[in-house]
Amino acid sequence: MSVYTPEQVRQWAAQVDERGYATIPGVLSEEELVFLRGTLDHVYAIYDPEKDGLQKVAGYHFSANLVNKSPFFETMFLRNPVYDIAKAILGEDCILSSLNSFEPLKGQGNQNLHRDGPPRPSEGTVALNSMWSVDGMDRDNGATRLIPGSHLHADPPPAEERGIIYADAAPGSVVVTNAHILHAASANPSGRRRRVMHGYFTRRGREQQTKQRQFLSAEVQARLSPLARRVLAIDP
């Protein structure tokens, strides 16, 4: 696994603040990617919206509530430099709102440009997304597209998409986005696999997309580390 310096964390956090996204290479190892490919396919197959809290969307493989699905996910969201960047922008006591996985299927998956939540309020960025690339993503298999800098204004999505970039992400890399940026999943024309995990962080005190205290089993909650409990806001 790669080692990152505080200066790199500072630079990536500045990119997320200024242009709205940063791409971090080498966060997941080859061995972990092999594990994740098998695990996510299993997780997609057994997904239960009643137990896991969110409805499935047509055109995608999907799972919410990943922290409940394998011990690997109980620590993944604490991995640096992703968690360090979240703390730098959202505060030392930031929390994980949700950990989901999402894959556009062949010829499907195009979303409209949107923000994850409202435009950025005057208090500054209140949420970040981190997209953990398992297979690699590019324009040909439905990479996330986004408009750099659009987290700095509150304009609605343009009727004609202009100024778009596609977030190319090699397997094992993580794209951290400012959640107020205009972005969307794109159609997957090739059908090449595009499994991504979304670790969504927010400021403490804001509502979680997955209320971890409600959706994590008693068994999982009992073995979480004190840090994981804090970041998952398990204790009142």
Ligand X SMILES: O=C(O)CCC(=O)C(=O)O
- Enumerate binding residues for ligand X (CB under 6 A): 102, 111, 116, 144, 183-185, 196
Return the closest-CA partner of residue 169 out of 149, 191, 145, 188: 145
Cβ 129 to ligand X shortest distance, Å: 7
In angstroms, the Cα distances linking 40 to 69, 100, 131, 167 are 9, 10, 14, 21
Cβ 96 to ligand X shortest distance, Å: 16
Q: Which of residues 74 and 116 has its CB atom nearest to ligand X in the complex?
A: 116
The beta strands (E) that lie in the chain are given as 21-24, 60-63, 95-104, 127-133, 145-146, 165-166, 174-178, 183-184, 196-202
Cβ 5 to ligand X shortest distance, Å: 29
Cβ 101 to ligand X shortest distance, Å: 9
Bridge partner list, 62: 102
Q: Which of residues 65 and 221 has its CB atom nearest to ligand X in the complex?
A: 65
- Spatial separation of the C-alpha atoms in residues 133 and 130, rounded to whole Å: 9
Neighbours of 29 (CB within 10 A): 12
The answer to whether 184 and 225 have CB atoms below 8 angstroms apart is no
Do the strands 183-184 and 145-146 form a parallel or antiparallel pair, or are they unpaired? antiparallel
In the chain, % helix, strand, coil (3-state, to 5) comes to 30, 20, 50
Q: Which of residues 185 and 228 has its CB atom nearest to ligand X in the complex?
A: 185
Q: Which of residues 2 and 111 has its CB atom nearest to ligand X in the complex?
A: 111
Q: Which of residues 68 and 130 has its CB atom nearest to ligand X in the complex?
A: 130
Cβ 115 to ligand X shortest distance, Å: 9
Q: Which of residues 144 and 202 has its CB atom nearest to ligand X in the complex?
A: 144
Cβ 113 to ligand X shortest distance, Å: 9
